[in-house]
Structure formats: structure tokens, C-alpha cells
Structure 1
């Protein structure tokens, strides 16, 4: 008669999710034999699954002390160290385990996980590829390879690996889910939802699958269904902080700020060291205009993440929104030092003599460059000979900056080539940082461009307010036309160019809106057209900066997360005194802002405006 091994029976229970049965057998084995290695490892694995990482480390460490040459046991100790984020110790365990048992695919896979966590992507990929070589018919190892490739940004190869996983195991829920995520990220929502539906057929109560389905529903604009599905996911795993984070983030996206705060606070209680939760709390507080609290949360997220991340960018934006410009510039200096530009930068310190020094200014981001032009005359005043390198569409505009000798249109900018000749070169976008710029220092004078209005600017009824509209960007889009057409004593002039203008031409005619876009070939022409109007209305972006830089009264549609150029709840900007902000509601609607625009346009130009033009926070 063949007797069953109790440790094998316990392992079977554990693999099937019958934790209580497995624990009972393992504990009985230890009572009978306190040095039973498999029982110690089994209980350590159970402790690890329950989040008791210290207990797991103690149990498995004891097993390794008893059996230091058992590769599987040493590998289990590596898994316990990995769970505690002790990456060096984990890597050491996996290397020792592989020396003992080099033919174990699972050890290579765990080794790859540790290497990836330590930032060694190339070696991690080699380790996981070796696991696949040792077990080519293993869906688990193909799936692990897909996860590693996805984590390193190799999405096409990751999709192939997930496809190979499904060839072996068509019902592999993880592969279906992760392949769905890749399709979702690529904007292929139909394919993503079909894969997710298949996964849910196999595991309908899986919280992660439901959370991903909720995200797809949200992207499809089905907010209430998305929220219902996400609540269900979080309810199935109430102790899982990441799901509370996902629910809180969805509530934030839907503008339900009080509820979002409750969920994110619960998530933080469950995982106080989670950087993503701290980052989400910062975004919530920013949207509520609680900028000091948002700053504290963002700084905590930076500390917890331990590396450059989205939290670092948000922390810098919040410093700028709070008017702490020099602190923000210093943090940006530190970030740039991690990946310096391949150019020779000039010394801009106050003691540096710039007389007759040739300096090239390179425009990278159009909106940021237009904002930065206010600081260019400060360089010219110190005797520098300035050349601007920019996209062709900006060249004629930037040639009009006072103090610029020439603007060179460059369709295919190569920074490395510019750095090769040794000519002092600055990124124009970074000029405010390099000069430690504030709204009042160095002293600047608007307008930033020497642009005259077109000839017909004098041929207009002085009682009619001419309003220029540009709707490309993060705003209500063509809805701006519908909202503002037909107002008394207001002449609407559409300045939009490109495909958005083409799509709106018929509606412009129906609404009686004058089209100026056809005559605008570049931003020099647009600037001249802006100079013709009394008021420019545009979303926060390049054209709003252009209007402000021309010192034309500019009414800016500012998104619900705010903007450091138009910070806080005030209407005005410290950078553009002739501008006013009209803010999006927390739920993403522009209704309040559009109504405020209509009211402002039908109010006498010199009449005061009370309070911020925004929707009430939820």
C-alpha cells in the first residue's frame, strides 16, 4: 500500500487555494518534526500570502538554515525578501538558488523579477527568456515574459508573449486581462473589451478584471456604469488598497471630490507607504485648490517613490502655482542634471560678460517658448547677439522679438548637431529657469513681439466689441462657437486654422461668425489677427500665451486642475496682467465658464467682475 506524503497533500491544498487545510497539515508536521523544511516553507508561503512578510521571512529563513543547499528553499527565501522590497538580499538568494538548481524555470523567473525591480532590465529579460527556454510549453513562463516586456515598454513583443500564453492556455485570465490593457492603452477599446469579456467568463468575480472593465467604460463616456463596476470591484476586495485607489481616482475624474477624498483616505490607511496613493491625494487637493496640502502630499509621493516620477513633476508645478518660483527652478535644475542636454550652455550669472557673445536660443515646446520670450530682451540688454532656432511656423513671429538678430526656421531640429560646434546654446523654454525668473525679475515689458495689427483694424464700429476665438486645445471645443454666437454688440471673429477650422466652416456661416483663419499662414499672421481684436478667447495653451504676450486682453479657459500661469482662484495672472481666467468645473463641464464668458461679453468693458469665474468645488 502506497502512503501519501502529507507535505504533498498540503501543497496540493495550497495550490488549490484551500489555505486552512494546508495550514493544519503543515502545523501538524511541525509539531511532529520541528525541523520539517517543507512545512516551514509552506507556512512561510501562507504567511506571505496573508501579508505577514516578517513571519514569512522568519519561517523560510529557518528552513534555509536547516537545508542551505536546497535550491528551492533558498529561492523561497528570495521571494520573501522580494516581498519586503529587500532587493539586494533577494537577488543574492536567487543567484545562490540558481547555482544549486540551474534547471528550475521558476527560479529564473523570480530572479528576473528581482533584477527588474533593481533596474537591470537587460539581465532580467535574459533571465526570463531562459525560464521560457527551460519550459517552452509553460503558459506561466510565457505570461511572465509578457509581463516583463510590458514593464520595459516593449508592448508589441509583450502582446506576442501574451498571445503565445493563450495558445497554450486559451483561458489564461492574466494573459487575457493584460492583453486587454495593452489594447486599451493603444485606444483599441473594442478589442480590449472583447478580451476582458472573455476573461470575465472564466473568472466573473475577479476584482482586477472588473476594475479594468470599469476603466474601459469610463473611457467610453459611461461614467455611472463605470463607477458601479468599480465599486463592485472594490467591494470584492475591501482590504486591497490599490482598488480603493482606483475607485478614488475614478471619483476624482468624475468630479465627485468629497467621495474621492473618502476613498483615497481609506486607501492611505491601508497602504500608508504607497506613493501612488499620495500622488492621487495631491491631485485631489490641487483640484480643490488646497495647494499647501497638495504640495505636502506631492512631496511625500516623491519621497516614497524614491526616483524621478510624475510626483516630482506635480510637486514642481505646485511650487509654481504657489509662487515659489526659485524653489521650482532649483528642483528643475536637479531633474535636468539627470539627463543633461547635449549643448554648450553659456554662463548667465550676473557677473558674466555677455557683450558680443553669440547665443542660440532653441525653441522646443511652442507654448512654453512663447511664454519665455518675455525674458529674451534681458539677455539682449547685456550685449548678447541672439539667434532663435525654431520650427518654421514660428520663425517670422520670433524674428519680431526685440533684441533678436535673426530667427532660423529649422524643420528637423537635432540638438546633438547644435552641440557639436561649441556655440553657446540655450533651450528657450528653459530661459525663465536659467534666469531665475519671476513675474517681476528680471524686469520685462510686454508686448514680447513687435507686431502691428492688420490694416483693417481701424475700420470698425467703436461700439462693437470684436472678439477673437481660438478653440483648439483643452476646452469646450466648437461648443465655444455655439455658446458665444449672437450676443448683442459683439462681433465674433474665428481665428482658428487647420482641420478644426475646415470642420467648422459650415457652422461659422450659419452662426454669422467671421472667418479669418484662411488668411493665417503662420503664427506671425495669427499675432497680427489677434492685434485686431478687443478680446481673445482661447484655452490655456500656445494661443493664450500669444495673446497675453501681445498685451491683448485675453480670456483663458483654464482646466479644472489649474495652471501656474493662471494660479489659484484668482481671475488674473501674475504673468499676463491683461488676462482673465474662466475655469472648468470639477466634474469636467464647461457650462459655468461659458455662461461667465457670455455675461462678461455683455457687460461694459470697464465693469468690475466679482470673484473667480469657475464652478463650485464638490
Structure 2
């Protein structure tokens, strides 16, 4: 290669790095006119085609280069990138392994193989690749970023966070580590930090689709859905048929209580992506919000038929049937009679259905009463007290084969109680106060004390469901004259003097029942532990989102648990208002 051509090739390669593709292309083509077998020019044109997403052309050009020079490692590495872009990951891995066989100490090749093996679930090999690349080149940001992604998959959040931060320290404008760090903050429920991270990404690239979607998700979690809406509208003007953006816009509108508007976007998203289960789920949610139960039921039934193994759709369909009063249809969706012996219940998992079954067993209705109940050996004593005396309770160290986690849903499918039945056969709360030990945590306390049961932090819910955050509970209840036992881990020094954090009573069903049978009242979200208060006849305030389990209905009371009062959050309302109203009722 002459010195002139060498200089021109170097200039073209620099233009390529600067994304001045047209100028670089002109020089490469001129070079090939003079030297048709110039490998660097062929590879250069292949890179240009790859950057323009002309993948077939890129693969052809890199193929020419590798055939002409079978020992050219960069040509194989670039061919691997082209196959990756075509999502032919097997071919991509073969090419990068060949490149590594030619240049085993090239850190960038090791990083590329690390990402490919990570995508294929080969975590051990991926870790070896990233670690070797970091040893070869301690300044290689891509190697540290890759190792951070691997650690994130392994749930080693702190180590991953340190690596992402080190990448950004060395290169503050590196978008991939910043995006990953913000995503990690979402997984850690550090939504404020995540918001800041995604906003920084969007400053560099305002049309980054993933950053917009992630920021919108974070804003919805921070109850700032109104700020997510204009972000999504801006992208939708550029990509009006993007189903992901349409879905996220539907979520943002639904979180603001704009269900009718949300339906427009969610319907369009479902047309474009008919197999997107989460879109269908949120559309069902929106239809329920506006009271169009008929359409919600039809869509839920269709999705149940199309996805018979998807529990979420059965739950949504059940909610629709509950809300419309068709309780028999709702329970029938959970029938699995092949696992159920006649008159024998298997209850080895604390969930809402199990508590509901205990409520039915105490309703003095013979058709709802089991002959035998099988429970874990360690919970025999308390379950014996919770069930009527004429029911045979059997402790077992292992659940029967095929019983799964619990057969509560199977039993409810067979019993199919409806609203009228529940009103006819009200619950007869078990009389436990004298049968179980008085909790030591309550001894020596003056005045009423109430148990506070927050929801599980950041547990997955359908959009617009949710629960009050621990901070909202603490701040609002801290203004009360009453005393509260906060059943969640929290630094006592950070709590008001009228709130005590204690989780020692959550170690077993017996200790939970003991506490709930003796406190003056319970403030809880919609989950199994909160239901126990209603079963025991304890004064229970249930805090419910605007979209909740359909069996509750929309009234302030329920025939399920007469001692409970329901406090619904309105679409535009605040959880602090719900907490305040519930606290006043408990103290009344």
C-alpha cells in the first residue's frame, strides 16, 4: 500500500469514527477503484453499511474481507457485530470466537464474547471474559460495564452499582452505563435517583426510546404520571405506531384516572401487538375503571382462552365477574378438582383465598364445611383454633403429591359462594382471645394500640393499583394521638414517638393471630395478613386503591367481614387522605 493511500485510509477511518459516513465512503470507494483488494477499505465500507443498518450488505462486505484475509481478526469481529444486528446470535458467537483465536488478548473481542454469552445465559463464561478483559485493560469501560450487567443479573446490586459509577467517573457522557445505573436504581426502588439518571440520558439523546419509557415508568411510580404524559406525546409524534409508547401512554393516563383516554391508546397498542399480555391486562383494567364490565369480561375471557396458563388473566377475569356480581363464574375460573379429595382441604400457603376459606368454614353452612383440613405440622395448633371443633385437622410434614402450594383456589371453585350466600351465612369469628397467649409487645401499654400492616414494598400490581408507601403511613399516623405497632422493618429512631416498629410477630401464623386477636384495631392494605383481622372479628380498616380486588365492590362495608371498613382511594386522591380517614374511624 502506497504512503498516499495509507494516509487516505487513515483519514477515512477517522471520518468513520466521527460518523461522517458519506465523506468516508467516498474515500474508501476511491481506494477500492485503485486497489480492489484493499481489506481496510472493504471493512470500512462494511462498517458504514452496518451503521446505516444495511445488514445484508455489511455481512457481504465483511465476508469478502474474511475470505480474502482469513487471519484478519477485526474483519471477523465486525462480521460478528453484523450478525448480532440481524439477531443471528449463534453466527455472531462463532465469528467473535474465531476473532479471539486470532487475537486472544484483544480486550474488545473478549467484551463482545462476554455480552453474547451473557445473553445466552452462560454467566460463568461471560464473567471470565469480562474479568480477563479488565485484567488486560483496566481502563476499558465496556469491560467494566459488561461486568456490571452480569452482576446486576446475579442480584449483586452494590457491586454492579460501583462498576457503573466507575464507568461514568471515567466517561461522564457514556450513556449505556448511565442507563444501566438508572435501571438498577429502579430495581432497588430508588426512584428519585432513577429519575435523575434517565433525565441525564435524555439530555444527551432526547429521542432515546428506552430512556423515555423507563423515565415514564419511574414517574408513574413516583405519582408524577402527569409529567410522563408530555414526554410520551413527544415520542409518539415521531413514532405514532410504536406499541410500547402507546402502551406506556395508556399507563400514564390510567395512573391519573383518565381511563377513557387510556383506552384509546391501549386499544391501539393491542391492535399493533395482539400478543402483548400486559397491554391486554391494562386495557381490561381501564375498561373496569369506566364501568364497561361487559367489554372487560369479554377481553378477559378471550385472553384466558388464548393464554390458559397465565394466572394474571384468570385473576383479571375473576375481578370482572366479582365486580358484576357473577361470583359463581369468578370462582369457577379457579377449579382444579383433579387435585382435590372429597371434603379434604389442603391449606399450606397463607394467601387471601386461604383466609376466605377459613371464613367460610366458620359460617355455619354445612355445604362449606370440610371434613378434614391438612395443614403444615408447625401450624396445627393455631389452625385447630381457627377452624370449627367438628372439623378434623391433620398436621403433615409434607403436602400430598400434586397439591401444589395450596388448594384454596380449588375449594373456592367448587363452593362458589356469592354475595347473597355470604349475607345469609355471616362469619362467626373464632373466639381466640382466651385461647392464645397475650403478646408480650402489648403488655404494660395504656390506651388503645393499633397494628399497621403496610403492603409489600414495590410488589407488582396492575397499573393504577398500588398501595400507600411506608413514609406516607408514618407521616400521617405520626400526627395521631393513638399508638401504632408498625409491622415492617424501620429504624426506630426515624419514627414518631407514637409508632413502634416490630416484625417479631410476623414469624408465624400463630403469632400473627395472637397479635390480631388482642390489638384494638388493624390498619392494612389488601393482602392476606389484613384479611385475618376481618376473619377474627377485629376492627379492621382496609386501604384499597381505586382499582382493587373485585370482590370488595365500591361500598364502605362488605358482607365478607362485617368488622371491616373499606377506605377506597379515588383516582385523583392522595393516600394520605385515605390513611387519615381510616385512622379516625379506628379511633371512633
TM-score range, shorter chain: 0.5 to 0.7
**Is the alpha carbon distance of 1:23 and 1:434 closer, same or farther for their aligned partners in structure 2, counting shifts above 3 Å?**
farther
Partner of 1:178: 180
**Is the alpha carbon distance of 1:576 and 1:25 closer, same or farther for their aligned partners in structure 2, counting shifts above 3 Å?**
farther
Partner Cα separation in structure 1 for residue 233 and residue 400 of structure 2: 56
| Cα deviations by residue, 1:169-188 (Å, 9 ceiling, x for unpaired) | 34434334433443454355
Q: Which runs of 5+ in 1 are unaligned?
A: 334-346, 409-417, 455-467, 484-493, 508-519, 598-618
Residue 440 of structure 1, CA deviation: 2.5
Does structure 1 retain, via aligned residues, the 8 Å contact 2:347–2:373?
no
Does structure 2 retain, via aligned residues, the 8 Å contact 1:495–1:529?
no
Partner of 1:603: none
Partner of 2:151: 149
Residue of structure 2 aligned with 1:450, choices 405, 423, 430 = 430
Partner of 2:386: 400
Residue of structure 1 aligned with 2:356, choices 351, 367, 371 = 371
Partner of 2:120: 118
Partner of 1:337: none
Determine if the alignment matches structure 1 residue 526 to structure 2 residue 527.
no
SS at match of 2:406: helix
Determine if the alignment matches structure 1 residue 389 to structure 2 residue 378.
yes
Structure 1-normalised TM-score?
0.61
Partner of 2:545: 559
| CA RMSD between the two structures | 5.8
SS at match of 2:407: helix
Residue 109 of structure 1, CA deviation: 1.7
Partner Cα separation in structure 2 for residue 250 and residue 348 of structure 1: 41
**Is the alpha carbon distance of 1:190 and 1:70 closer, same or farther for their aligned partners in structure 2, counting shifts above 3 Å?**
same
**Is the alpha carbon distance of 1:385 and 1:316 closer, same or farther for their aligned partners in structure 2, counting shifts above 3 Å?**
closer
| Cα deviations by residue, 1:8-37 (Å, 9 ceiling, x for unpaired) | 444433322334434555566667777765
**Is the alpha carbon distance of 1:91 and 1:220 closer, same or farther for their aligned partners in structure 2, counting shifts above 3 Å?**
same
**Is the alpha carbon distance of 1:21 and 1:328 closer, same or farther for their aligned partners in structure 2, counting shifts above 3 Å?**
farther
Partner Cα separation in structure 2 for residue 87 and residue 258 of structure 1: 42
Partner Cα separation in structure 1 for residue 313 and residue 542 of structure 2: 24
Partner Cα separation in structure 1 for residue 335 and residue 368 of structure 2: 18
Does structure 2 retain, via aligned residues, the 8 Å contact 1:184–1:216?
yes
Does structure 2 retain, via aligned residues, the 8 Å contact 1:470–1:496?
yes
SS at match of 1:389: helix
Does structure 2 retain, via aligned residues, the 8 Å contact 1:44–1:59?
yes
Residue 192 of structure 1, CA deviation: 5.3
**Is the alpha carbon distance of 1:405 and 1:158 closer, same or farther for their aligned partners in structure 2, counting shifts above 3 Å?**
same
SS at match of 1:140: helix
Partner of 2:462: none
Partner of 1:293: 299
Determine if the alignment matches structure 1 residue 545 to structure 2 residue 505.
no
Structure 2-normalised TM-score?
0.64
SS at match of 1:111: helix
Partner Cα separation in structure 2 for residue 215 and residue 129 of structure 1: 33
Partner of 1:317: 315
Residue 288 of structure 1, CA deviation: 2.5
**Is the alpha carbon distance of 1:325 and 1:26 closer, same or farther for their aligned partners in structure 2, counting shifts above 3 Å?**
farther
Partner Cα separation in structure 2 for residue 55 and residue 295 of structure 1: 47
Partner Cα separation in structure 1 for residue 550 and residue 49 of structure 2: 48
What aligned pairs does 1:211-230 form with structure 2 within 5 A after superposition?
A: 221-229=223-231
**Is the alpha carbon distance of 1:591 and 1:145 closer, same or farther for their aligned partners in structure 2, counting shifts above 3 Å?**
closer
Does structure 1 retain, via aligned residues, the 8 Å contact 2:353–2:408?
no
What aligned pairs does 1:202-601 form with structure 2 within 5 A after superposition?
A: 203=204, 205=206, 207=208, 221-229=223-231, 231=233, 246-261=248-263, 272=273, 278-289=277-288, 290-293=296-299, 312=310, 314-321=312-319, 323=329, 349-350=340-341, 361-363=347-349, 365=350, 367=352, 369-373=354-358, 381-382=370-371, 389-390=378-379, 396=382, 399-402=385-388, 430-433=406-409, 437-440=413-416, 447=427, 450-451=430-431, 472-473=453-454, 497-498=485-486, 522-524=512-514, 526=516, 539-542=525-528, 545-546=531-532, 549=535, 558-563=544-549, 565-566=551-552, 584-587=569-572
| Cα deviations by residue, 1:292-330 (Å, 9 ceiling, x for unpaired) | 435767998x89xxxx9xxx5533433543656666677
| Cα deviations by residue, 1:470-518 (Å, 9 ceiling, x for unpaired) | 87446679999xx9xxxxxxxxxx9975479x989989xxxxxxxxxxx
Does structure 1 retain, via aligned residues, the 8 Å contact 2:373–2:391?
no
Does structure 2 retain, via aligned residues, the 8 Å contact 1:361–1:428?
no
Determine if the alignment matches structure 1 residue 162 to structure 2 residue 164.
yes
| Cα deviations by residue, 1:132-156 (Å, 9 ceiling, x for unpaired) | 2222222232223223322332211
Partner Cα separation in structure 1 for residue 38 and residue 122 of structure 2: 36
SS at match of 1:251: helix
**Is the alpha carbon distance of 1:499 and 1:123 closer, same or farther for their aligned partners in structure 2, counting shifts above 3 Å?**
closer
